[in-house]
Structure 1
Amino acid sequence: MQAVILAAGEGTRMRPLTETVPKPMLPVADRPLCAHTADAAVAAGASELVFVVGYEADAVREHFGDAYRGVPVTYAVQSEQLGTAHAVGAATDHLDGDFAVLNGDDIYDEAAIEALFEATPAVGAYTVDDPRPYGVFSLDGDRIVDVTEKPDDPPSNRVNVGAYGFPAEATDWFDDVEMSERGEYEITDVVERLLAERDVRAVPVERWLGVGRPWELLAANEWKLDGLDRRVDGDVRGDAELRGPVVVEEGATIEPGVTIEGPALVRSGAEIGPNAYVRGATLVGEGCKVGHGVEVKNSVLMAGAAVPHVSYVGDSLLGPDVNLGAGTQVANLRHDDGNVKQTVKGERVSTGRRKYGVVAGPGAKTGINTSLAPGVVLSAGATTAPGESVTRDR
């Protein structure tokens, strides 16, 4: 059974982290976000992976090549991002037989994807406390009767999470989808036709995370780093102390006086210390520098990011090649203990997190002794002045 992985979107709600990297290729632990979806499909027995690519497509091609974990890989191009049905329609020429469709920016438990393959035609169903923001299933036992988008009075608490198992004949249906009122071709139209013509099973998804906004990328790393098995292949020097599930990849260096409390992943080429403290679910990416007197807690540092001197970074995401000047302090807690808010596409949105720091886009730099307030976003290439207190997005 082939697996179509949707990986063409720009990820505008994830800006500025997606200025140069497509959202599906953002790092989650030791691999890109969409590689976790691909892993689930391979574990379920996929005969081929068909990636639908668009924005920054070369990044996907370069990572996955012609085969991934022994499974052939094909690419279909969605030149315009006009919805999920439009994306799958770009891949139908590559399909032969039953096929699965998975969102490349969602993470699913592998058992659910295996069950989806076995039960096709089927759709993944996840249980939520408040189903109103989702497409909600009406069910007869484990058979899906209907899907209602964002209902005020939900018929169940089982929701659609973008994992589908389609029969072979469905490849012809995507060309028949009409544009919706919001200007997209929706895969839910194909699902409705499937429900009308076949019995479709709701496959339980025990764990799922849609990764559309920066704090959800932080949550994805918390999930995947939590499953680390301790491994030390790099150079750990002097009295450096590693506690719990810590992975130090070959080519990474941990200097004396460093304490790392897992789960934490230190990737190849990264340097930590001397006398630094890393804790919580933290990813220190390839070629990163965490220097003397620096504390990093529950954060994601992408490739080449540097926090060289006496700084604090908590619950934050630093994009590639970010540099924080000496004494930079990230605040990650509101004084009123409310959830931290962040601006996404011009709208102020609650992150749902009591502790949340900053998002710094590629190449952003702070001057020495900069203070950054919770929820601040530094755009790609943004700078701050020495001693500046930044309370608004830059």
Structure 2
Amino acid sequence: MQTVVLAAGEGTRMRPLTDRLPKPMLPVAGEPLVGHCIEGAIAAGASRVVVVVGYEAETVRESLSSREWPVPVEFVVQTEQRGTADAVRAAREALRDGPFAVLNGDVLYDDSLRELFESGPAVGSFRVDDPGSYGVLETEGDRVHGVVEKPDDPPSELVNAGAYVFPEAALPWLDVEESDRGELELTDVLQRTCESFDVTAVPFDRWLDVGRPWELLAANEWKLSEADGRLAGEVSPDADLRGHVTVEQGATIEPGAVIEGPVYVSSGAHVGPNAYVRGATYLGPDAKVGHAVEVKNSVVMADSHVPHLTYLGDSVLGRGVNLGAGTTVANLRHDGEPVRLTVKGNRVSTERRKFGIVCGDDVKTGINSTLNAGVTLSTGATVDPGETVLRDR
């Protein structure tokens, strides 16, 4: 099954993490988000993969090209991000005769991808309690008759999971008209396919659209829970590693450190003496966790430092962040309600009782600073020593 993977978008809802890094390249359990999508496609039977790149295209291309894949992986460029149908249209010349699959490179899919590939024409579906905020499938049994975007009265609880198998006949149908949103929508191609073919709804038991910062935490929780763990780096015999812990070659774990998996420690990362790392935590390349620091259920990207006597919980740090010694991150509201976060200018619920902060690249906090739950620090933001930050900066 030739497979198109869409990885051209910027990911504006994920800002500030995507100010300099395309969303498909955000780290999930030791590899980029889009890498998990490609691996899943290959496991499901992809014979070749065409990756559509756009925003920060070379970053995506260089990262994926550095790996040895068991099937050909090619790249095409969507010069202007005009929608999902336009993205697939950019790949049209690279496609050969026969059906083709389309996957979103910022989505995690379970093993049902194989059934999807074998059932084409088909669309992946996922059952949710609040389908009105998604594209909802109109179904009869396992047949799909169409899709309705964000309806007030959803026709089903099955939402479009952004995974498709189209017949070859759908290639000319990619030349769609602009939608009301001003985009060229792949769902219009799906609608026409449903009118011409029997399209099967293939359910996913587990599915995650990684669009907002707390969903990056959820993605790492998912993939880290599946990792067996391996120890290739330098681990002190006086360190205490429990559960599934991966320590890559070139990483260092100092005496007295306690690490409770699932945890991933990348090459060049350093966990200092008497540090406590727990929960589904990812430490990126050359990240540093200092003496007597606690890091819980967090993503700490490349070259970021969490120095001594600091607490970081349920948070996402971009690259090159430095938390001053004694920085404390709150991750719980006193009223017990889910923590809210700013997404594209609006405060929205993370649906998480515990959530800390989001830091863009190169954020610096002074010593003994305190950061409130749900605070976002933009790229390059600074915090003074001893300051308490209650609002976004």
TM-score, structure 1 normalization: 0.98
In structure 1, distance between residues paired with 2:205 and 2:392:
37
Please tell me whether the aligned partners of residues 47 and 72 of structure 2 are also in contact (alpha carbons under 8 angstroms). yes
| Percent identical | 63
Deviation of 1:67 (Å): 7.0
Tell me the secondary structure at the aligned position of residue 220 of structure 2.
Answer: helix
Query: What corresponds to 1:328 in structure 2?
Result: 327
Query: What corresponds to 2:127 in structure 1?
Result: 127
Which deviations, in whole Å up to 9, do the C-alpha atoms of 1:342-390 show, x marking residues without a partner? 1111111111111000001111010001100001111111111000000
In structure 1, distance between residues paired with 2:66 and 2:282:
28
Query: What corresponds to 2:4 in structure 1?
Result: 4
Which deviations, in whole Å up to 9, do the C-alpha atoms of 1:219-246 show, x marking residues without a partner? 1001111112131111111411001111
1:286-305 to structure 2, matched below 5 A, reads 286-305=285-304
Query: What corresponds to 2:361 in structure 1?
Result: 362
Matched, 1:273 2:276: no
1:1-394 to structure 2, matched below 5 A, reads 1-65=1-65, 68-96=68-96, 97-109=98-110, 111-175=111-175, 177-394=176-393
Tell me the secondary structure at the aligned position of residue 391 of structure 2.
Answer: coil
Please tell me whether the aligned partners of residues 291 and 308 of structure 2 are also in contact (alpha carbons under 8 angstroms). yes
In structure 1, distance between residues paired with 2:152 and 2:19:
36
Amino acid at match of 2:70: G
Deviation of 1:146 (Å): 2.3
| Structure 1: gaps of 5 or more residues | none
Deviation of 1:68 (Å): 4.6
Amino acid at match of 2:149: E
Please tell me whether the aligned partners of residues 238 and 257 of structure 1 are also in contact (alpha carbons under 8 angstroms). no
Amino acid at match of 1:392: R
Please tell me whether the aligned partners of residues 309 and 326 of structure 2 are also in contact (alpha carbons under 8 angstroms). yes
Deviation of 1:299 (Å): 0.2
In structure 2, distance between residues paired with 1:238 and 1:325:
29
Tell me the secondary structure at the aligned position of residue 154 of structure 2.
Answer: coil
In structure 2, distance between residues paired with 1:68 and 1:46:
15
Deviation of 1:271 (Å): 0.5
Which deviations, in whole Å up to 9, do the C-alpha atoms of 1:236-261 show, x marking residues without a partner? 11411001111111111000010000
Tell me the secondary structure at the aligned position of residue 368 of structure 1.
Answer: coil
Tell me the secondary structure at the aligned position of residue 112 of structure 2.
Answer: helix
Please tell me whether the aligned partners of residues 209 and 220 of structure 1 are also in contact (alpha carbons under 8 angstroms). yes
Tell me the secondary structure at the aligned position of residue 226 of structure 2.
Answer: coil
Tell me the secondary structure at the aligned position of residue 332 of structure 2.
Answer: coil
Which deviations, in whole Å up to 9, do the C-alpha atoms of 1:268-296 show, x marking residues without a partner? 11100111000000001110100001000
Deviation of 1:66 (Å): 8.1
Please tell me whether the aligned partners of residues 7 and 34 of structure 1 are also in contact (alpha carbons under 8 angstroms). yes
In structure 1, distance between residues paired with 2:181 and 2:142:
31
Alpha carbons of structure 1 residues 67 and 232: separation in structure 2 relative to 1, 3 Å = closer
Deviation of 1:138 (Å): 2.0
Which deviations, in whole Å up to 9, do the C-alpha atoms of 1:80-115 show, x marking residues without a partner? 111111111111111112110000110000x21111
In structure 2, distance between residues paired with 1:325 and 1:238:
29
In structure 2, distance between residues paired with 1:158 and 1:347:
27
In structure 1, distance between residues paired with 2:113 and 2:228:
23
Tell me the secondary structure at the aligned position of residue 226 of structure 1.
Answer: helix
Amino acid at match of 2:99: D
In structure 1, distance between residues paired with 2:147 and 2:287:
46
Amino acid at match of 2:260: E
Please tell me whether the aligned partners of residues 66 and 74 of structure 1 are also in contact (alpha carbons under 8 angstroms). no
Please tell me whether the aligned partners of residues 146 and 190 of structure 2 are also in contact (alpha carbons under 8 angstroms). no
TM-score, structure 2 normalization: 0.98
Which deviations, in whole Å up to 9, do the C-alpha atoms of 1:165-191 show, x marking residues without a partner? 00111111112x000111101111101
| Structure 2: gaps of 5 or more residues | none
Please tell me whether the aligned partners of residues 332 and 356 of structure 2 are also in contact (alpha carbons under 8 angstroms). yes
Tell me the secondary structure at the aligned position of residue 49 of structure 1.
Answer: strand
Which deviations, in whole Å up to 9, do the C-alpha atoms of 1:293-349 show, x marking residues without a partner? 100000000011101211000000011110000000000001111111111111111
Please tell me whether the aligned partners of residues 145 and 191 of structure 2 are also in contact (alpha carbons under 8 angstroms). no
In structure 2, distance between residues paired with 1:67 and 1:3:
18
Amino acid at match of 2:157: N
Which deviations, in whole Å up to 9, do the C-alpha atoms of 1:104-143 show, x marking residues without a partner? 110000x211111111100001111221111112222111
In structure 2, distance between residues paired with 1:46 and 1:66:
19
In structure 2, distance between residues paired with 1:138 and 1:12:
29
In structure 1, distance between residues paired with 2:263 and 2:304:
16
Amino acid at match of 1:101: V
